[in-house]
Structure 1
């Protein structure tokens, strides 16, 4: 097992994010570092949260966003049934996370025709959208 971890550490050193995927369960968080990646996390509050057809339409449209070539990793999620604590917000309907190799790739995504079409055709579904973008910073 130690030889495998050593091999994985050496194999991923200096590799771009796209080459890391899929990440194996054998690698630990300390062994896999995302350098210069931009994480784009979007939270949607549906106008009609109980409308399953609207939720399905949004999820299908979000799946179409994965066709944008600069997206390296994506995840569509729903509020988890985690402990109800003051710091946990379960009020959103759907979340979407996309990972990019860098800021330029995320900038390209913002004006990509697939993304623009997504907004145009689906914005009537949500009452609120909150976006959190993050990147690593040298301290």
Structure 2
């Protein structure tokens, strides 16, 4: 029963975050508040950006990383085909976003064995990593 509740809670949080909760009215950005949330956004530049096997390995490893229990919502993505502008950086290979309920949950994630294993087994793939952490005001 606990696993089912946890699954439903994560599903609802994900749907709300995306603004797609089918049983509720569409929410505007002003209506969806992420108070107390810590957002952890990581950008990876692969050493060999054209190496599809390396990209696949990193993505699969990121999917394993989402099993850390303190992560509430996650997203793995690639540069979008948005317009080229001075303020848009399309140079990264893969992005990873994780949302946590608190700073302590993110601190726990940093030392979680799943996260430590992820870094140990995959750091040879990237030449650069940039992390942006933010909290609400």
Query: TM class by shorter-chain length?
Result: 0.7 to 0.9
Structure 1's consecutive aligned runs of 4 or more residues displaced over 2 angstroms after TM superposition are 17-22
Name the CA shift for 1:21/1:48 in 2 (closer, same or farther; >3 Å). Answer: closer
Question: In structure 1, what is the equivalent of residue 128 of structure 2?
Answer: 128
Specify every segment of 5 or more residues in structure 2 that has no aligned partner in the other structure, as ranges: 1-8, 21-25
1:73 and 1:66 map into 2 onto residues whose CA distance is 8
Q: TM-score, normalised by structure 1?
A: 0.83
How far apart are residue 28 of structure 1 and its match? 1.5
How far apart are residue 94 of structure 1 and its match? 0.3
2:86 and 2:71 map into 1 onto residues whose CA distance is 32
Q: TM-score, normalised by structure 2?
A: 0.85
SS at match of 2:130: strand
1:70 and 1:113 map into 2 onto residues whose CA distance is 13
- Count matched residues: 121
Instruction: Map 1:1-139 onto structure 2 (within 5 A).
Output: 20-23=13-16, 24-25=19-20, 26-137=26-137
The structure with the largest alpha-carbon Rg is: 1
